[in-house]
Amino acid sequence: MTESVSPNDDLQPIAIEREGDGAIVITWDDQSQTRWTASELRKICPCATCREKKRDSGDAAAAPKPTMLPVLSTAEARPVRIESMRPVGSYAYNIAFSDGHSSGIYPFAILRDKGNE
């Protein structure tokens, strides 16, 4: 009988390196690595505002049809980049993006388990 192994929630990042302007690679204390692009991280932002937007956009049939295309700011029109990452306690990172968004707190569990989203 084979048991499935669940990810270790106690794993800690030991290094974070930039990969060009568009990605980061996180090395964990078990020496495994997780690669994230800035756009992937921005898309899964766990902040309350982004969660609300995702929830509201879930029913496309109920949403009113726009009569005009939205106007994008210069920052929104450019490819998103990670501007900074700050530790939050010993369990997460706050990530600031080039589009001005910086309220997301990404727990290590999210950053670690990319394949299990």
Would you kindly state where each structural domain of the chain is located, as residue ranges?
Answer: 13-52+80-116
Could you report the per-residue pLDDT of 33-65, keeping only the tens digit for each? Answer: 999 999 999 999 999 999 888 887 765 555 566
Q: Residue 1 pLDDT > 70, yes or no?
A: no
Give the lowest-confidence range in 6-10, 11-15, 16-20, 26-30.
6-10
Residue 26, both tokens:
């996180």
Where residue 117 falls among pLDDT bands split at 50, 70, 90? very low
* CATH hierarchy code of domain 13-52+80-116: 3.30.2020.30
For residue 92, list its beta bridge partners.
88, 107
Residue 61, both tokens:
């049939």
| pTM for this predicted structure | 0.74
Instruction: Find the mean pLDDT for residues 101-108.
Output: 96
Q: How far is CA 11 from CA 92, 116, 117, in A?
A: 12, 16, 17
Cα separation, 56 vs 76, in Å, equals 20
Where residue 115 falls among pLDDT bands split at 50, 70, 90? low
Closest CA to 109 of 46, 63, 60: 46
